[in-house]
Amino acid sequence: MKTAKTKPPLLKYYFLTFASLSSLILFFFFSTQRRHSLTSFLTTTAATTHSSSASEVDLKIRPGYTSYDAYIQRQLNKTLNPKLRKIWMTRDWDRKIHVFSNFFRELQLQNLLSNSSKSLCIGARVGQEVEALKRVGVSDSVGIDLVPSPPLVLKGDFHNQPFDNEMFDFEFSNVFDHALYPRKFVGEIERTLKPDGVCVLHLALSTRADKYSANDLYSVKPLIHL
């Protein structure tokens, strides 16, 4: 494992293989005494980036939203879709919990997550990742989503988390592509993360995500900038 350091803010890069969720990039950032150092974990199976254009347009916000309410309603159209919710609660339930559990165990082995970590899953839908955290021993875990799914998921907008400052040791999300305002998305994580806390984002790069996504990301550069 190689580590490269720059002048403050500290910037570190680690590379590892994560086979459970291919075509994803894992982006980690840490909060340290109110200064935030960034750490990106890149999978060797990640989708290839457009190297020629990465420096030109790395993060595109999708147009077409006439208001924030219109954006929220579009997100709700997916979250409240009865067919999708049935799939999430049945066919996908055990499969996703298994994948998330294996991943969280790897984080525990790397001392990035412990059983005592107060944890938040952002955009958790029906709560598979929250349930996975609890099953690996991280009992103080909760999720937020526009549509609550008690007892695992509370109602909350990730652009304005319903929590006080510095509440969580660990935050996880795989819905960065649904953020209409990426700066607010990241800023709320930084606000609610404790000093020395860890955040993990699963990111799809160089591929257009589903029709409900609000942005398309082509490299980790914009997140490092944020």
- Structural domains in the chain? 59-224 (3.40.50.150)
Which one has a higher pLDDT value, 187 or 211? 187
pLDDT of residue 204: 83
Helix, strand or coil, per DSSP, at residue 98 = helix
Q: What is the separation of C-alpha 127 from the centre of its chain, rounded to a whole number of angstroms? A: 14
Q: What is the separation of C-alpha 61 from the centre of its chain, rounded to a whole number of angstroms? A: 17
Q: CB–CB of 137/166 below 8 Å?
A: no
Cis status of the peptide bond prior to 222, with omega within 30 of 0: no
Write out the two tokens for 89.
């609660």
φ/ψ region of 174 (left if φ > 0, alpha if ψ in -120 to 50, else beta) reads alpha
Neighbours of 13 (CB within 10 A): 16
Dist. CA 185–CA 61, nearest whole Å? 13
Q: CB–CB of 25/17 below 8 Å?
A: no
Strand extents, DSSP E, the chain: 11-16, 25-32, 35-43, 59-61, 119-122, 141-145, 153-155, 168-173, 193-203, 215-217
| pLDDT category of residue 209 using cuts at 50, 70 and 90 | low
The length of the chain is 226
The whole model's pTM is what?
0.80
Mean pLDDT score, 47-65: 63
* Model pLDDT for residues 78-91, shown as the tens digit of each residue: 999 999 999 999 98
Give whichever of 38-47, 55-64, 119-128, 213-222 has the largest mean pLDDT. Answer: 119-128
- What residue type is assigned to position 17 of the chain? T
Write out the two tokens for 25.
């990039």
Mean pLDDT score, 186-215: 90
